[in-house]
Structure 1
Amino acid sequence: EEFATLECTSCQRKYKGHEISLLKFKNCQCGGSLQLHVNTEGVYRLEIIPFLPLSGDYMVKLSELSPQSRQAFRSMVRILKQEKRGIVKTVSLVIKVMEDGRWVRKRVTIDAHDEANYEKEIRSQYGSNARIEMMQFHRKKPSIINDKQVQTALSLGYVKYAETQIFQFLPALLEQSLQDLGKVKEYQESLEVAERKANKYDDGDDQDGLKKFFLKKELKERDIMDKEGNLNETIQQDLKNKELIEKNLFQEIPRIYILWDLLRYYLTTSYDRRNKHSGPFPYLRPGLDSNQIKAFQDFKKDVVEIMQEHLFEKIEFIPGMGKVLFSKFSVEKKMKGLHLQMGSALGAAIVAIEGNLTVEETAELFSITPKAVQKEKETLETLQKPASSKARQFMAMMKK
């Protein structure tokens, strides 16, 4: 759906996956032949496919994650479970109706509707004498991804993919960031040796004590710890820095990957498109409320820079991501009924306006031309604040 398009060699019309049903005899509607092209404007991350629990081996894949990644997995699930404020789905009513000359109480449940006249609805079903004694609203709190299995699968896929990416550049980053990586490696080796020996001689009484004893012995033999049991200050600082770097990377990079993809998908598609077609995120909510938008917290700028430097990702730090997304949903409401196209150029223009990025930067991020972004930016500015009398007349006419 997002990865590729079919393009007509004659009229250059592009067809996405959900539009293939429009084609007849494997040709364009104009009769021209079709060619398959990679959709440079699409939102997809095919690299996560090998890491998805497609065959139900969820626990196996979870067990393969490192301890840091397992923690990141739990955080990812919490993000995708971010719930919308309760939407009233059904209403339970206790009503009194006249039956055989006497009043009878009944409990009924009906679907909730905006601005519904429940009393009128009850009377239409149970007669003009029906009265409502009590109403109880039942609310549903849909998540950003409104399916537990999909939440789990996507979280696992993104976390494991991020983990493989991190392991590729982590040694080089640590060597660049730590004062004495060699000693840090020796400390890690000593820790592993101590754990093995503690397990070997464990009698069930004090395994932690055994582990500490063997660790001190190993560290002293390697001249990392002095006779008084004090670690070298440089090693102590390096160990703290290593822990902080790894925690930031394993927690933040999976979050950046999935939120960036979600952000781009929301920015480049219309509400109707998201509502009718699943795209790269099955069971995705087509719209988000202010509570769910809170999940789109700003990325850590230093981690984004690391991803740009080591992974060559086309990802940018955007201040106020939630504000950008909220602006897109506001634009969708204003453009409803105007039949204006919502695509990558519009999303890029919103980022340029709300995210304080240049037109050239956003054009690069969304793989389109600066000219297209500038055009949509001008359209948005007209939509937000019509400059000319003709523009004001047009907007007034469209609102009728």
Structure 2
Amino acid sequence: EYANIRCKDCKKSYRVSSFLDNEKACKCGSSNFEFKINHSGVHRLEIIPYLPLSGNYMVLMSGLSSWGRESFKRVLNVLKQQRRGVVKTVTPIVKYKENGRTITKRVPLDSEFADSYEDELRRRFGKGVRIERLEFHRTKPTIINDKHTCTNLALAYVKHAEDIVERHGEAIFEDKIKDLNNLKIYDEIIYSVNLEKPEFIDSSDLEDWRKDKINKTLEELGLIDKFGHLDRGLKKDLKEREKIKTKIFADIAPSLILWDISKYYLCTSQDRRKRYGSPFPYIRGDIDRQQRKVFQNPHTQVVNLLREKEKEHILSVPDMDLLLHKKFKFEGKIKNLNIKLNYAAVGPAIVFTNSNYSIKEVSYAFKVGEKSIKREINNMKSIRKPNTKRSRDFIDLVKNKS
């Protein structure tokens, strides 16, 4: 995804694994190579330092902030979104006669008999068998079907989000909070008093003593009245800060991983997703309507912040779930047609034709040239499955020759 190795003489590109298999030599005989970065690929190198190694994810989790832990849960909810249940086994409870006796029995059957369990039961127990009850056991595979991979990716994306907040958090607070100075004073008082542990105070009375001292100090500074009510401005700023943490900071990691996954599905072919590895180990080749629901929330505010502060190549696309459906439907339409497409531009083409973004914005977000996007739009318009026998025969003839 990140880069290929290209021969400078014949311009043939190799994946790193293929390059090593060929003993670092090109088929043309040249050994003159260059490292070519794939800017339109799906990769996020910033998360690599935070991918847990040797099971140290508990150490990384312990270092997460309060909003980071909430963000971690949200990313896991994205990755563990289940598809509609697929019947794994079926267990009929049947009654049948044997040697003059009526026998009740549970009969576990594999998924291959899910639609033909009656025939199988008659074959085993005869035509007189009667089904009392049926139990269907379903599997619900997730988008990334490995819990350890989900945990590792969630942690890495959240730690990356914390880095972003560390760089821009102060500026975000300054934009949203009216009196940041009072908020800092309030935090310092709470923090310093909670560290105090006077010897003359019993442990049972320590919390009450701290509370009284905090209130007294805040009252002296005019941040609280004699009835214990916080200053209105400070109270409002405290609520706004909490809102920023839960609605913006905690949604940075989910926004990034949702964009990366949607970009992966939009910009790769079905064949590639099945045959080759991806930036997301154990990711499913396609997802159903139930799983696509996680893409319905575009996180517009967070995406705009990332574009402004981080210069992130990302878009807030409403109804991304429907665009993914269009992409999967298009893949089914061109199946077995042997048509060569630039899939890196197919995704942007789908987004451009189904959104209000300009082609320049889409080109920037996907790092694909505008000409390539326009070319794939024209290709997609011209593609259709053969409807007549003659056209189908022609396609078969082309396939056989190729």
- Residues 295-319 of structure 1 show CA distances to partners (whole Å, capped at 9, x for unaligned) of 1132332222211121111111112
Determine the C-alpha separation between the residues in 2 that align with 1:14 and 1:72. 39
Query: Do 1:270 and 1:342's aligned partners in 2 also have CA atoms closer than 8 Å?
Result: no
Amino acid corresponding to residue 308 of structure 1 in structure 2? R
Partner of 2:361 in structure 1?
361
Q: After TM superposition, give the deviation of residue 265 of structure 1 in Å.
A: 0.6
Query: Do 2:96 and 2:130's aligned partners in 1 also have CA atoms closer than 8 Å?
Result: no
Q: For residues 246 and 102 of structure 1, do their structure 2 counterparts lie closer, same or farther at Cα, with a shift above 3 Å needed?
A: closer
Query: Do 2:113 and 2:120's aligned partners in 1 also have CA atoms closer than 8 Å?
Result: no
Query: Do 1:89 and 1:112's aligned partners in 2 also have CA atoms closer than 8 Å?
Result: yes
**Segment of structure 1 superposing worse, 348-357 or 146-155:** 348-357
Query: Do 1:296 and 1:321's aligned partners in 2 also have CA atoms closer than 8 Å?
Result: yes
Determine the C-alpha separation between the residues in 2 that align with 1:374 and 1:52. 38
Q: After TM superposition, give the deviation of residue 95 of structure 1 in Å.
A: 7.3
Amino acid corresponding to residue 289 of structure 1 in structure 2? D
Determine the C-alpha separation between the residues in 2 that align with 1:329 and 1:242. 41
Counting only pairs closer than 5 Å after superposition, residues 186-201 of structure 1 correspond to structure 2 as 186-197=185-196
Partner of 2:45 in structure 1?
46
Q: After TM superposition, give the deviation of residue 369 of structure 1 in Å.
A: 1.1
Partner of 2:26 in structure 1?
28
Amino acid corresponding to residue 151 of structure 1 in structure 2? C
Q: For residues 25 and 68 of structure 1, do their structure 2 counterparts lie closer, same or farther at Cα, with a shift above 3 Å needed?
A: closer
Q: For residues 360 and 111 of structure 1, do their structure 2 counterparts lie closer, same or farther at Cα, with a shift above 3 Å needed?
A: farther
Determine the C-alpha separation between the residues in 1 that align with 2:217 and 2:177. 22
Q: After TM superposition, give the deviation of residue 238 of structure 1 in Å.
A: 2.0
Q: For residues 89 and 176 of structure 1, do their structure 2 counterparts lie closer, same or farther at Cα, with a shift above 3 Å needed?
A: same
Percent identical: 36
2:392 matches 1:397: yes
2:258 matches 1:259: yes
Where structure 1 has 5 or more consecutive residues not aligned to the other structure, the ranges are: none
Secondary structure of residue in 1 paired with 2:277:
coil
Query: Do 1:252 and 1:299's aligned partners in 2 also have CA atoms closer than 8 Å?
Result: no
Partner of 2:382 in structure 1?
382
- Residues 198-256 of structure 1 show CA distances to partners (whole Å, capped at 9, x for unaligned) of 79777454665444312212212333234443433322222222221222222210111
Query: Do 2:87 and 2:114's aligned partners in 1 also have CA atoms closer than 8 Å?
Result: no
Query: Do 2:174 and 2:180's aligned partners in 1 also have CA atoms closer than 8 Å?
Result: yes
Amino acid corresponding to residue 397 of structure 1 in structure 2? R
Query: Do 1:360 and 1:370's aligned partners in 2 also have CA atoms closer than 8 Å?
Result: yes
Determine the C-alpha separation between the residues in 2 that align with 1:339 and 1:200. 81
| TM-score, length of structure 2 as denominator length | 0.85
Amino acid corresponding to residue 24 of structure 1 in structure 2? N
Give the superposed CA RMSD: 3.3
Where structure 2 has 5 or more consecutive residues not aligned to the other structure, the ranges are: 397-402
**Segment of structure 1 superposing worse, 5-14 or 363-372:** 5-14
2:338 matches 1:347: no
Determine the C-alpha separation between the residues in 2 that align with 1:171 and 1:267. 35
Q: After TM superposition, give the deviation of residue 41 of structure 1 in Å.
A: 1.6
Secondary structure of residue in 2 paired with 1:44:
coil
Q: For residues 116 and 177 of structure 1, do their structure 2 counterparts lie closer, same or farther at Cα, with a shift above 3 Å needed?
A: closer
Q: After TM superposition, give the deviation of residue 167 of structure 1 in Å.
A: 1.3
Secondary structure of residue in 2 paired with 1:7:
strand
Q: For residues 196 and 334 of structure 1, do their structure 2 counterparts lie closer, same or farther at Cα, with a shift above 3 Å needed?
A: same
Query: Do 2:345 and 2:373's aligned partners in 1 also have CA atoms closer than 8 Å?
Result: yes
Q: For residues 145 and 98 of structure 1, do their structure 2 counterparts lie closer, same or farther at Cα, with a shift above 3 Å needed?
A: same
Determine the C-alpha separation between the residues in 2 that align with 1:218 and 1:41. 56
Amino acid corresponding to residue 26 of structure 2 in structure 1? C
Query: How many residue pairs are counted as aligned between the two chains?
Result: 391
Partner of 1:223 in structure 2?
222
Counting only pairs closer than 5 Å after superposition, residues 1-400 of structure 1 correspond to structure 2 as 2-17=1-16, 19-20=18-19, 24-33=22-31, 34-92=33-91, 108-113=107-112, 117-118=116-117, 133-134=130-131, 136-197=135-196, 203-205=202-204, 208-340=207-339, 341=341, 343-383=343-383, 397=392
Amino acid corresponding to residue 392 of structure 2 in structure 1? M
